[in-house]
């Protein structure tokens, strides 16, 4: 499971998914890309900033070898152009041969501000992430061709 986080929200959901799926967490950093070569399937998480995934994430999408990888994408955001941002990333990796199996967008409740914590994830959101991970992991593990 690979994730990118600026303020920690996506990291918290990533931790929930890692615990649920028993997958190791690998944090992607701007100057430290995670090599996905060894993974057959990947849960991939990122936040939405200014209507896009962060530049480092989009660049990572363009630079990794996604061919044949099954990917489930999750994001935290406040629900503004989130689908568009996720689809943008999904299309980048799909154009490099990834099979995007599922997408989950998780919203923070509350006020977005630089000082007041970027909204808050409630227990309902963690539960949504757990349910999704449990439902999707078997689909990622399945070996038949996905189209």
Ligand X SMILES: Cc1cc2nc3c(=O)[nH]c(=O)nc-3n(C[C@H](O)[C@H](O)[C@H](O)COP(=O)(O)O)c2cc1C
Would you say 68 or 79 has its CB closer to ligand X? 79
**Cβ distance 25 to 55 under 8 Å?**
no
Residue 48 near ligand X by CB under 6 A: yes
Would you say 8 or 33 has its CB closer to ligand X? 8
Place of tokens 């992991």: 137
Smallest distance, Å, CB 74 to ligand X?
A: 11
**Cβ distance 76 to 126 under 8 Å?**
no
Would you say 72 or 121 has its CB closer to ligand X? 121
**Cβ distance 83 to 91 under 8 Å?**
no
The residue within the footprint of ligand X, chosen from 19, 35, 65, 80 (CB under 6 A), is: 80
Q: Which of 71, 67, 68, 53 shows the shortest CA–CA distance to 96?
A: 67
Q: Give the total of residues touching ligand X (CB under 6 A).
A: 23
The residue within the footprint of ligand X, chosen from 16, 64, 108, 137 (CB under 6 A), is: 108
């Amino acid at each position: 499971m690979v994730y990118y986080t600026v303020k920690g929200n996506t990291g918290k959901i990533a931790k929930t998914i890692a615990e649920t799926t028993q997958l190791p967490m690998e944090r992607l950093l701007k100057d430290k890309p995670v090599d996905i070569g060894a993974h057959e399937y990947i849960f991939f998480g990122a936040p939405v900033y200014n209507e896009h995934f962060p530049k480092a994430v989009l660049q990572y999408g363009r630079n990794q070898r996604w061919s044949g990888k099954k990917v489930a994408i999750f994001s935290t955001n406040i629900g503004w152009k989130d689908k568009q941002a996720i689809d943008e990333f999904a299309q980048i990796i799909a154009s490099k041969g990834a099979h995007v199996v599922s997408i989950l967008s998780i919203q923070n409740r509350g006020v977005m501000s630089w000082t007041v914590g970027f909204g808050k994830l409630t227990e309902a959101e963690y539960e949504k992430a757990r349910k999704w991970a449990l439902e999707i992991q078997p689909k990622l593990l399945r070996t038949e061709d996905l189209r």
